């Protein structure tokens, strides 16, 4: 059955043809609903190569104003029996200017989201300036911008998921988004959240999204709820599927049918992908599944 839903606000639109494999969001055409999650191409170094694998969109970054090394190694661990990854990378990246140069040179026209964050040595009371700095620089070249406040590997970052801190940050970013729109056209802002909020926390976040007209939600980042032998860090992959899908279901219920949601977390197979769509995702991302299964997973999900 084919249905079309259209939402208009501030000149953007969302139009989905249910049951089809294509999607138009905010005047941006997604040839399929499967994307690469943030953190694999942190610097935009591999855009054309990744696009050629068949993804419908890519999210690059997370990028920060200044280049930074991230946490000391070892900081990335695979747990093969449980099909999980534990990472405490800490936003290692070459800085936003490098990423923008890569975006300028790309040949593929695949939709690209750019994930932005703050440098590790920026205190939280100055974090707004880091996000605004990155937003200014990537806005012209991104199809959407993802606000990453949910990495567990930058000290204190998840404090921005708390009500007042979140409201202040979002308000500043929305104001700047509208200023930048005059020059570059409308670019949606998505907020990426953790799977570790309780129901009340998810309600608060969704309330802020609606109150400040944030354009979309990414559900979810990695979880800190594990006691893996490798120590602290965010866990992704198969064990994350349940908690991240639960967050997605709750958020969808609060936000309503029309609110754009990208699902991320634990998609290791076509079945998992369909579970995300069933829970209310408009678009779905993979990372750990791509590491374990390779590019074949893209074909399995889209063509089998």
Choices 86-94, 99-107, 129-137, 162-170 (CB under 6 A): range interacting with ligand FMN: 86-94
Q: Is 286 in the site for ligand FMN (CB under 6 A)?
A: yes
Size of the site for ligand FMN (CB under 6 A): 27
Please, how many CA atoms are within 13 Å of residue 211, restricted to the half-sphere of its CB? Answer: 14
Separation of alpha carbons 233 and 224, rounded Å: 6
Residues 201-230 that bind ligand FMN (CB under 6 A): 221-222
267 belongs to the binding site for ligand FMN (CB under 6 A): yes
Beta carbon nearer to ligand FMN, 5 or 296: 296
71 binds ligand FMN (CB under 6 A): no
Please state the length of the chain. 304
Judged by CB under 6 A, the stretch of 46-54, 137-145, 235-243, 252-260 that binds ligand FMN is 235-243
Closer CB to ligand FMN, residue 110 or residue 157?
Answer: 157
Among residues 115, 150, 151, 236, the one annotated as catalytic is 151
Question: Could you tell me the smallest distance in angstroms from the CB atom of residue 182 to ligand FMN?
Answer: 28
Task: Please tell me whether residue 191 binds ligand FMN under the rule CB under 6 A.
Answer: no
Secondary structure of the chain as H, E, C letters: CCCEEEEEECCEEEEEECCCCCEEECCEEECCCEEECCCCCCCCCCHHHHHCCCCCEEEEEEECCCCECCCCCCCEEEECCCCEEEECCCCCECCHHHHHHHHHHCCCCCCEEEEECCCCCCCHHHHHHHHHHHHHHHCCCCCEEEEECCCCCCCCHHHHHCHHHHHHHHHHHHHHHHHHHHHHCCCCEEEEECCCCCHHHHHHHHHHHHHCCCCEEEECCCECCCCCCCCCCEEEEHHHHHHHHHHHHHHHHHHCCCCCEEEECCCCCHHHHHHHHHCCCCEEEECHHHHHHCCHHHHHHHHC
**Residue written as token pair 């942190």:** 42
Residue 56 vs 289, nearer CB to ligand FMN: 289
Q: Is 173 in the site for ligand FMN (CB under 6 A)?
A: no
Minimum Å distance from CB 148 to ligand FMN?
Answer: 4
Q: Kindly indicate which of the ranges 82-90, 130-138, 247-255, 295-303 contains the residues binding ligand FMN, using the contact rule CB under 6 A.
A: 82-90
Q: Among the candidate windows 104-112, 136-144, 178-186, 265-273, which touches ligand FMN by CB under 6 A? A: 265-273
Asked if 158 is part of the footprint of ligand FMN (rule: CB under 6 A), the reply reads: no
Which residue carries 């939402």 as its tokens? 7
Q: Give one word for 141, left, alpha or beta, with left for phi > 0 and alpha for psi -120 to 50.
A: alpha
Among 64, 122, 148, 275, binds ligand FMN (CB under 6 A): 148
Catalytic annotation on 151? yes
Q: How far is the CB of 6 from ligand FMN (least distance, A)?
A: 29
Which of 283, 288, 297, 301 touches ligand FMN (CB under 6 A)? 288
> Residues in the site for ligand FMN, rule: CB under 6 A?
37-39, 42, 62, 76, 85, 87, 89, 91, 115, 148, 151, 192, 221-222, 236-237, 240, 264-267, 286-289
| Residue numbers annotated as active site | 151
């Amino acid at each position: 059955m084919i249905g079309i839903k259209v939402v208009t606000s501030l000149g953007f639109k969302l139009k989905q043809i249910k049951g089809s494999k294509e999607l138009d969001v905010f005047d941006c055409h997604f040839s399929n609903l499967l994307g690469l999650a943030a953190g694999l191409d942190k610097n935009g170094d591999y855009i054309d190569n990744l696009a050629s694998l068949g993804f419908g969109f890519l999210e690059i970054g997370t990028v920060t104003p200044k280049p930074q090394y991230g946490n000391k190694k070892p900081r990335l661990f695979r747990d093969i029996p449980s099909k999980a990854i534990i990472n405490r990378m800490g936003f290692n990246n070459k800085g936003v200017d490098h990423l923008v140069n890569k975006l300028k040179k790309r040949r593929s026209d695949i939709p690209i989201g750019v994930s932005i964050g703050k440098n590790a040595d920026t205190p939280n009371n100055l974090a707004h300036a880091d996000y605004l700095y990155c937003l200014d620089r990537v806005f012209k070249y991104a199809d959407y911008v993802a606000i990453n406040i949910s990495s567990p590997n930058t000290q204190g970052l998840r404090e921005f998921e708390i009500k007042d801190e979140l409201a202040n940050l979002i308000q500043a970013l929305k104001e700047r988004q509208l200023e930048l729109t005059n020059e570059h056209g409308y670019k949606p802002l998505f907020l990426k959240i953790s799977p570790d909020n309780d129901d009340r926390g998810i309600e608060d976040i969704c309330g802020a999204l609606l109150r400040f007209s944030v354009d979309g939600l990414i559900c979810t980042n990695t979880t800190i709820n594990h006691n893996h032998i490798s120590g602290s860090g965010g866990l992704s992959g198969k064990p994350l599927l349940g908690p991240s899908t639960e967050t997605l279901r709750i958020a969808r219920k609060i936000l309503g049918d029309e609110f754009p949601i990208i699902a991320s977390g634990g998609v290791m197979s076509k079945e998992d992908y369909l579970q995300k769509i069933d829970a209310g995702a408009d678009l779905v991302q993979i990372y750990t599944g791509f590491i374990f299964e390779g590019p074949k997973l893209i074909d399995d999900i889209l063509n089998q």
